[in-house]
Structure formats: C-alpha cells, structure tokens
Amino acid sequence: MQYIVQKEAKIAVLCGGMSSEREVSLRSGKNVHAALQRLGYKNAQIVDVTPDIMDDLKGFDYAYNTLHGKYGEDGCIQGILEILKIPYTGCGVMASAICMNKEYTKRILSTVKEIPLIKSVFVKKGEDVKKAVEGLKYPLITKPVSEGSSFGMTKVNKPEELEQAYNEAVKFNDDVLIEEFIDGFFVTVGVLHDENGKAFATEILEIRTKTEWYDFDAKYTKGLSEFVVPATGLSKAATEKVKSIAVKAHETAGCSGVSRVDFMIKDDEPYFLEINTNPGMTDTSDLPAQAKVMGIDYDTLVLMILNSVGLNK
C-alpha cells in the first residue's frame, strides 16, 4: 500500500546536483516544488544537492528526488537517504544502480525472453573498439554506459567515424555501449503505481523530431520535437505489447514508484532501449505529457509519486 504523506511534512525536493544533467534537474525540481506548494505542502523546500547533502537533509521527513544522472539516479543519493532513514520517492538503491548502467540493465533483462533487446557490444576502457564491433552492422549508436539525456551519444554511419564517436562517449564514462542503429521511431512509456502499489503503464508517447535522432537538443529545445500521445504509429497489438514489456522491464529490474521505459519501433516491433528511474518533470518532459492524456494532471502526478515513497523498501 502507498503512504499518505501528511501536509505538514517537511519535504526536501532534491535537485541540481553534480552531474552533467544538473540544469535539467533544476528545472524538474522547480516544477515539482511549485506543485507541492499548490497541493498544500507548505514545508516543501528545494535542496540543491552538494557534497554537504547529509548535513543539509537534517530535519527533513521525506525526500522528493528530482535529481538526474550521476549521484542522483545511480543509487548514491538513495543510499544516503537509506542511512539517514528518510523515505524517498522513486526507485531504491539496487534498481537505481542497475538501470543507470545500460549494459547491466540489458544483462538483467536478457533473462526475460519477452523483452526484445538490440544487438550490442560493451567496450571497456582499453579494449579495441574496432575489433569489438566486428559482429555489428552499421549504422551504430555509441553511448556512455551510465549517462542520460543523450550526453556523449553519436550515430556512426561508417567505420571511419567510429573512433571519433567512441572518444566522445568516453568523455563521460570509461565504458561504452555500442548498439546497432534501429531505423525506426522512438516511443516511451511511463510506469507508475496505483493506490494498491500495482504497477501500470501510461499511454505511449511517440516522438517525432526535427533532428536526425532524439538527441539532447531535441529533448530539451522547444519546437525540435513533436509529442504524439497516445502514439499513432503502432498497431493496437504493438501498443499493448509495448505497455506489457514496459511493466515487465520495470518489475524485472526491481523498479518502484516511477520509471520511464524507452523503445525504438521498426516494422511495428518494439526494441528495448533503456529504463529511466527518475524521469524528467520539466515543461518539455515526457512523463507529464503521458500522464496528462490519461487524466492525470501535473499536480496529481507529483502527488502519486510522493505517495509511493514506501514502495522502494
């Protein structure tokens, strides 16, 4: 069962932080804080996360986590909150750590045959990247293994472009995931929990971009992406399949409270990309748009996530 967080509770809205996604997180935190104020949680405060976070959290009853990326989405802040015995929103330590690493997420999900994965290789620091990709077909996508918001990602159309793309990825992480490029379209589906704690999928959001693929600019610049929700590019059967896989992936990875699962669609077949354990809550973010078409407005979405604080135990 979900918590019912009392209106007088002192809530730390964690945002900012020390990752490359700091600016996006600040926007999420500002929006969530405003929603909590409208909902009557007058003791909610924005806390910009720094190395002094353990001292800064003294006296708070709950933490609403709107951090993105390193330290906020990878199990680190979750571990601190566990030590401080402060209930918090979103996924727990284990699921956060697993899902932040795209390679280990795929390894966990590979145990479930219903979840379709894209062919890929995992290149560790010092390994020969050209040799590693010999079994893959171009074009490719190079990705830092533990980064969000498309930072360090590059589409590689031919072998001559591989080294430069790899070098861009290792600016963010020592290890790199390289996948075959799926020439289809991008969809994403949120996973939330109802009042009984049962996971359910939101409507699917299809993203049509004016860029070559769904990169950082397309994600966070108004006008570069068009949200189509509910998605229109899938058959009814594919729609139900995507929703089912999203919930299955969420549960298999041990997620709780909220997540967002991304897919590429080609020939009406979904291919899993990744799980985001702390989806953005900005004006241009996917999850609020997905919830809205289900009749869940922004403030109600914030309240649902807040009252899921007990699910990550």
Catalytic residue among 19, 21, 27, 72: 21
- With beta carbons less than 8 A apart as the criterion, state whether 257 and 309 touch: yes
Active site (annotated) includes residue 61 = no
The catalytic position among 65, 101, 120, 149 is: 149
Active-site annotation holder among 103, 206, 274, 286: 274
Active-site choice (166, 214, 220, 298): 220
CA 272 to chain centroid, in Å, comes to: 13
Q: Which of 72, 214, 260, 286 is catalytic?
A: 260
Which entry of 276, 278, 307, 312 is annotated as an active-site residue?
276
8 Å CB contact between 33 and 46: yes
Does 274 participate in catalysis according to the annotation?
Answer: yes
Catalytic choice (103, 203, 206, 262): 262
CA 138 – CA 207 distance, rounded (Å): 23
Would residue 280 show up in a list of annotated catalytic residues for this protein? yes
Catalytic residue among 148, 280, 285, 312: 280
262 included as an active-site residue: yes
Catalytic residue check, 73: no
- Catalytic residue numbers read 21, 149, 220, 260, 262, 274, 276, 280
